[in-house]
Structure 1
Amino acid sequence: MEQTWRWYGPNDPVSLKDIRQAGATGIVTALHEIPIGEVWTLETIEERKRTIEWDDSVSPAQPRGLTWSVIESIPVHEDIKQGKPNRDEWIKKYKESIRNVGKAGIPVLTYNWMPVVDWTRTNLEMQLDDGALALAFNYIDFAAFDMFILKRDQAENDYSEEIIKKAKSSFSSMSEEQKYILQKNIIAGLPGGQEGYDIESFRNKLSEYKDINSEKYRQNLKYFLEQIIPVAMESGVRLAIHPDDPPISLFGLPRVVSTESDLQFITNITDSINNGLCICTGSLGVRPDNDLPGIVQRLGSRINFLHLRSTQRDSNNSFHEASHLRGNVDMYNVMVNVIKEQKKRHAQNRRDEIIPMRADHGHTILDDLGKKTNPGYSAIGLLRGMAELRGLEMGIRKSGVIYNEHSSKAF
């Protein structure tokens, strides 16, 4: 696999030099400064690509040994997701961005179809037994926010009596500072998302979805993909949709990228490698009904990007980020099936034989505990995750578990 690293641009506390020293060769990033929906110009893309791939601080300029391998993400405008009458205007701009990505030679473009909010956590600094800090989602605290801070209309209809009782108890025990931090964590914006909200604007945004159920939302996705996939094919850009995170309904909003059947629906829209998947094992792994090794096996030919991380399911839809080889994700068999898929691609002479992957949502550990970092993206935690995944891949390849059809040597 191609080992990549999520970089948040020139202001990221983790530098490109740090990333190269960690052993990654690919960069995953986005132009976060461009407003959602506006065109990514070729000039702007190439300027950032130059920053990633060349060190111009020395003379003559030197290659960094890094490649901009994956864009994550070009956000989809809410008017497209909601199927508003003006969606074609925004889709036209999205098509232009895809064309420019292709001209710049960046092969993979990740996007998501989560309504209103991107990935959601209630705690960005959950302390583990060993003193490390992890991202966490506490469903009880989320329900408390939804019902008693946001005060969403009829929110209580989405929760059981048991959850409501626990949420009331949790809310009553929170200090004003804890309530503020909870609100900030959920709606003020996280890395990877470009929008943050206050309570009133968030309520207004949610109200725009009052007449959109899951089926309508799924059809809006189908319409969007039918428009952009031909452009992706012409431009040589492989699309990769990211799963819902977490893969459950939040705020009564539709979620249609949460299960294997959801992923199958998407891949059936157009039978093309340009209409592909970003398999995030941590997101999908929150649901016990998602068979992750099986998903990789059955949908492997359409995987264009991998987020390899693990989550530990707690009670009541709660979970926290586990270390990469622990938690509920069967990372060993996921990795075995990824390697098998790459073996198939090699035999088929596919140009996308090498699948880009990255470690994701690492713990904050060691010296990073005293530094300002992006939640889930501290250098040392991701370095640990990358090292574990790198070792797992090598161990499987060297062990002889997987053989080349024409050789007794491990593939």
Structure 2
Amino acid sequence: MIANLEQTFRWFGPADEVTLNDIKQTGATGIVTALHHIPCGEIWTAEEIRKRKAIIENAGLKWSVVESVNIHESIKIGEANRDEYIEKYIVSLRNLADNGIKIVCYNFMPVLDWTRTHLDYRLPNGASSLRYDAIALAAFDLFILEREGAKADFSPAIQQKALAYLENISLEEKNLLCNTIMAGLPGTDEVFTVAEFRGYLERYADVDANKLKQNLYYFLRAIIPEAEKMGIKMCIHPDDPPFSILGLPRVVSTKNDLLDLVNAVPSPSNGITFCTGSLGANLNNDLPKMIDQLGKHIHFLHLRNVQHETDGSFHEGEHLSASTDMFAVMKAVIREQYRRLKDGRKDVAIPMRPDHGHKILDDFNRNTYPGYSIIGRLKGLAELRGLEMGIRRMFFE
């Protein structure tokens, strides 16, 4: 008998309308959270970490994964002061390790975290989903942001569709589109203005995909040896969406990107957050094969599903019945668990969480962070739990 995956739930802290008591009732035992009130780039003090950990443990739960200790833009851009921010990052890791928190998720996406164009896309059954509309994104890029060089990124046909899209929505809808795309880091209410975002684009003017990769590897060469001493497992989150948007490069989007990353700084501490939604938004990614090839580096799982549309658009689908074959994904994950058991590894119960749930039922009466409803994620967790049990008993026991 092998250990099940560790069931976790993301929680945005004491201000989150989804309470720890709510999460406990889902059956999840682990909490995935971060100190969102500490500005990006500043040190997470031991005192603040202890406070958050105590709140979680007093609710009968465990702080399993940090998501995320965000990386300052100076590190991503490779600016002169990046070593100062890297040192602060290492201090934060040390304080986490001293408090027994050993899995840290992070990403290396320039400026924006995950990007969507619509946060309340209604499905035929009345549920609300997150959506990425490629035409709406093009309309914003071409005619609202008016990014220099944007026309070269879109075919004449897409430009025509984007203009028609913009001409057929109201001023209120245009403002909502801007605010949705320009949303800052998860767990905050920060929204960039178009002027602020243009300023970031200027800072990234000389940073192409190769330069961004080299800056990522510079960061890893500095922190991974320290993380290994502390017993911390760093796990990078893939780009979302997994392709360049708004003129900004993306470098954690494919199997080769992930192979390059783990080979750049070989270490048990240099690993991956395997997000089936982010990677699944790229039709060229074969997720079960990626798990078979990269499984030993996976320290954390985000299990969700996207439904592909046309023109590169997609929306968050049902956990088990959208474009990704979640049965094949879960089977590959369990195979990896058995490999770990055979190799004598202790990290067999990989933490996983349901991600980006629909709003359903009473979720509409709560002001939750986009994608982080309570009942929609509970539904996803229940489905994943049942899928895991069925595969385990049918094929592995």
Q: TM range, normalised to the smaller chain?
A: over 0.9
Q: What does residue 207 of structure 1 align with?
A: 202
1:112-144, Cα deviation, whole Å (9 max, x unpaired): 000010000000000000000000000100110
Q: What does residue 371 of structure 2 align with?
A: 376
Unaligned runs of 5+ in 1: 55-63, 403-409
Residue 184 of structure 2 corresponds to residue 189 of structure 1: yes
Question: What is the SS of the residue equivalent to 1:40?
Answer: coil
Q: Match for 2:245: what amino acid? A: L
Choose which of 254, 258, 280 in structure 2 pairs with 1:259: 254
Q: Retained in 2: the 8 A contact 1:32–1:194? A: no
Residue 31 of structure 2 corresponds to residue 36 of structure 1: no
Matches within 5 A, 1:1-400: 1-54=5-58, 64-189=59-184, 191-192=186-187, 195-399=190-394
State TM-score, norm by structure 1: 0.94
The 1:163–1:192 alpha-carbon spacing in structure 2 relative to 1, beyond 3 Å, is farther
CA distance in 1, matches of 2:171, 2:190: 24
CA-atom RMSD in angstroms: 1.0
User: Size of the alignment, in residue pairs?
Assistant: 393
CA distance in 2, matches of 1:336, 1:297: 10
Q: Retained in 2: the 8 A contact 1:123–1:185? A: yes
State TM-score, norm by structure 2: 0.97
Question: What is the SS of the residue equivalent to 1:79?
Answer: helix
The 1:309–1:198 alpha-carbon spacing in structure 2 relative to 1, beyond 3 Å, is same
Q: What does residue 405 of structure 1 align with?
A: none
Q: What does residue 59 of structure 1 align with?
A: none
Q: Retained in 2: the 8 A contact 1:36–1:194? A: no
1:7-55, Cα deviation, whole Å (9 max, x unpaired): 000011110000000000000000000011001111111110000111x
Q: Retained in 1: the 8 A contact 2:112–2:185? A: no
1:225-271, Cα deviation, whole Å (9 max, x unpaired): 00000111011110000000000101111100000000000010122
Moved over 3 A (4+): 192-195
1:165-209, Cα deviation, whole Å (9 max, x unpaired): 100000011100000000010103363567531111111111111
Q: Retained in 2: the 8 A contact 1:121–1:185? A: yes
1:69-118, Cα deviation, whole Å (9 max, x unpaired): 00000110000000011110110000111111111111200000000100
Q: Retained in 2: the 8 A contact 1:71–1:110? A: yes
User: Among the aligned pairs, what percent are the same residue?
Assistant: 53
CA distance in 1, matches of 2:367, 2:342: 46
Unaligned runs of 5+ in 2: none
The 1:194–1:305 alpha-carbon spacing in structure 2 relative to 1, beyond 3 Å, is farther
Q: Retained in 1: the 8 A contact 2:271–2:298? A: yes
Q: Match for 1:23: what amino acid? A: G
CA distance in 2, matches of 1:373, 1:220: 34
Instruction: Give the drift of 1:368.
Output: 1.2
